[in-house]
Amino acid sequence: MSRTAVYRCVDASNNLIYVGVTSDPETRCMGHSRRTAWWPNVSETKLSWYPDRASALLGEALAILEGKPAHNRHVPLRLIAESMRPRVSVARSGPPSIPVVTVVSAIQVWLKGQDRPASWLGKQIGLGPTRAADIVAGRKRPTLAQKLAIEHVTGGEVPATAWVAT
């Protein structure tokens, strides 16, 4: 895993124009300068570094949801879900390679993007509001059936396979 940056392009009035993710900000910004109509309006590019791409994708999604930049077309939740799929086997003596907090954050991002509370998710998957809030906050682990239901409700954007077995 390599460090990855979330970059925020702002205009002279500090209005958010675009948010993106890259491991090479200089090259990425050069690409924007050659291919986008909005680049001449950028007066500053602000960087926030993350330890890995999965964390950066969550940071990007939150920045897009909160800042509503003019030139981002969508929140990249499918990319977040893909980045969370386990690719490395978990050693018996070590901790899981993908923390549950990453999946929990993805659920929180998805709910925020849909402007829905945890209780709504609970109702969709047959849970009471307290149990749903506990799952969304990471205080409780969902069952396999609940993971599959969450995957269905989110249209696959929070996949059941992203949860780490405990």
pLDDT on residue 165: 47
Instruction: At 23, give phi and psi (nearest 5°).
Output: -100, -5
**C-alpha distance from residue 142 to each of 64, 122, 147, 154 (Å):** 28, 11, 6, 15
Task: List, as one string, the DSSP characters of 98-117.
Answer: S-HHHHHHHHHHHHHHHT--
pTM of the model: 0.53
pLDDT of residue 98: 42
Residue 65 inside a domain? The answer is: no
Residue 158 domain flag = yes
Together in a domain, 159 and 85 = yes
- The domain in which residue 22 lies consists of 1-53
81 lies in some domain: yes
106 and 165 co-located in one domain? yes
82 & 164 share domain: yes
pLDDT of residue 95: 41
Shared domain check, 152 and 80: yes
Question: Could you read off the pLDDT tens digit of each residue along the chain, which spans 166 residues?
Answer: 578 999 999 999 999 999 999 999 999 999 999 999 999 999 999 999 888 887 787 788 778 877 889 898 766 555 555 555 544 434 444 444 444 456 677 788 888 888 889 999 999 888 999 999 998 888 888 888 888 888 888 877 777 766 654 4
- Per-residue confidence (pLDDT) for residue 64, from 0 to 100: 82
pLDDT for 108: 83
Q: Are residues 112 and 163 in the same domain?
A: yes
Q: Do 20 and 89 sit in the same domain of this protein?
A: no
